[in-house]
């Protein structure tokens, strides 16, 4: 049985070093690409046979999978979701190809907790019904609500960082111009992420990284384990420095990145 594939997204307004944005966004982007490719293999588009003029249109594979996850939910009758009224912030999401393994990180009163599908948000009646790349769908008192990942507009980082971060979120392929991040698998086991400079190598060089470094952990959290990545995401808003563990010349080394606002 194939293992679930995960996509990581985050909302992190406190990073003051561009290399941090590149590394974290880049890892998430590579995971998203991997998920998209696997999805194409699992659900290839089959030729659509000709139907009689009066035939009832058949559901698409995507609609079939959606209705399997949410029985009784039809596209024509699906309620319109509104922005959630909860006094919480969506800090991060981990989207798995296996929906029951997806997680969200929600911040409430300065504390962050992780929730899965059907879990009830602390101190509320709202439960998680769907987890997407950039938002979570809730059922709150019979009302369908949405909590978005990037709604927090305030940032303590410099304007240049915020602008570049927004550009990266809109056009993630630009990450490849700064750093090339390649997932490394051996015999179906995740070994880490190979890091190499992109077209713009300045940030890469300033970080202390070297070509072909293999990133395996950040701040002690193993990047090769999705659950460890979820724990790391839960601490993003409190980070003051990064300790990136890499493998170089068959030996583990640590790269420190200062995240304090200068």
pLDDT tens column, 223-235: 887 677 666 666 6
Angle at 5 between CA 96 and CA 13, to 5 degrees: 60
Average pLDDT, the chain: 66
CA dihedral angle for residue 139, residue 141, residue 145, residue 151, rounded to 10 degrees:
-110
Lowest mean pLDDT among 19-23, 180-184, 220-224, 234-238: 19-23
Angle at 170 between CA 6 and CA 158, to 5 degrees: 105
Instruction: Tell me the C-alpha distance between 54 and 178, whole Å.
Output: 54
C-beta neighbour count of 60 within 10 angstroms: 11
* pTM of the shown model: 0.41
Buried b (16+ CB within 10 A) or exposed e, 73-98: eeeeeeeebeebebebbbbbbbbbbe
- Asked if residues 124 and 140 have their Cβ atoms less than 8 Å apart, the reply is yes
Q: What pLDDT is stored for residue 126 in this prediction?
A: 94
Strand partners, 128: 138
Lowest mean pLDDT among 32-46, 132-146, 174-188: 32-46
User: In CATH, what is the architecture of 172-258?
Assistant: Roll (2.30)
Q: How far is CA 58 from the centre of its chain?
A: 32
What percent of the chain is predicted at pLDDT more than 90? 10
**Domain-wise residue ranges, the chain:** 82-148, 172-258
Q: What pLDDT is stored for residue 119 in this prediction?
A: 93
Q: What pLDDT is stored for residue 189 in this prediction?
A: 83
Chain segment 54-88, per-residue pLDDT in tens: 555 554 444 443 333 344 444 444 556 788 889 89
- Answer yes or no: is pLDDT of 195 > 60: yes
CATH number, domain 82-148, options 2.30.30.830, 3.50.50.60, 3.40.50.2300, 3.40.1670.10:
2.30.30.830
Q: What pLDDT is stored for residue 146 in this prediction?
A: 92
Residues 201-221, mean pLDDT to the nearest whole number: 78
* Token pair recorded at residue 6: 């995960």
Q: What pLDDT is stored for residue 80 in this prediction?
A: 65
Chain segment 122-174, per-residue pLDDT in tens: 989 999 999 887 889 999 988 999 998 765 443 433 444 455 445 544 554 55
Q: What pLDDT is stored for residue 153 in this prediction?
A: 43
Q: Phi, psi (5° rounding) for residue 206?
A: -70, -25
């Amino acid at each position: 049985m194939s293992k679930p594939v995960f996509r990581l997204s985050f909302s992190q307004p406190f990073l003051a070093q561009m290399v941090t944005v590149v590394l974290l966004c880049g890892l998430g982007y590579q995971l998203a690409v991997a998920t998209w490719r696997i999805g194409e293999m699992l659900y290839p588009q089959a030729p659509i046979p000709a139907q009689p003029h009066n035939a009832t249109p058949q559901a698409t594979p995507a609609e079939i999978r959606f209705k399997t996850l949410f029985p009784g939910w039809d596209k024509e009758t699906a309620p319109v979701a509104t922005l959630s009224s909860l006094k919480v912030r969506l800090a991060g999401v981990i989207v798995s190809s296996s929906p029951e393994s997806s997680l969200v990180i929600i911040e409430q009163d300065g504390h962050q907790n992780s929730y899965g599908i059907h879990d009830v948000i602390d101190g509320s009646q709202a439960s998680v019904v769907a987890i997407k790349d950039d938002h979570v769908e809730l059922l709150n008192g019979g009302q369908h609500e949405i909590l978005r990942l990037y709604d927090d507009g305030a940032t303590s980082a410099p304007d240049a960082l915020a602008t570049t971060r927004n550009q990266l979120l809109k056009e993630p392929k630009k990450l490849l111009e700064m750093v090339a991040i390649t997932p490394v698998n051996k015999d179906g086991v995740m070994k880490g992420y190979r890091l190499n400079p992109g077209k713009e190598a300045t940030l890469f060089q300033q970080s202390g990284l070297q070509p072909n470094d293999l990133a395996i952990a950040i701040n002690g959290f193993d990047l090769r384990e999705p659950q460890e990545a979820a724990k790391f995401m839960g601490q993003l808003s409190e980070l003051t420095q990064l300790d990136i563990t890499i493998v170089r010349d068959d030996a583990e080394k640590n790269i420190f990145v200062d995240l304090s606002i200068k």
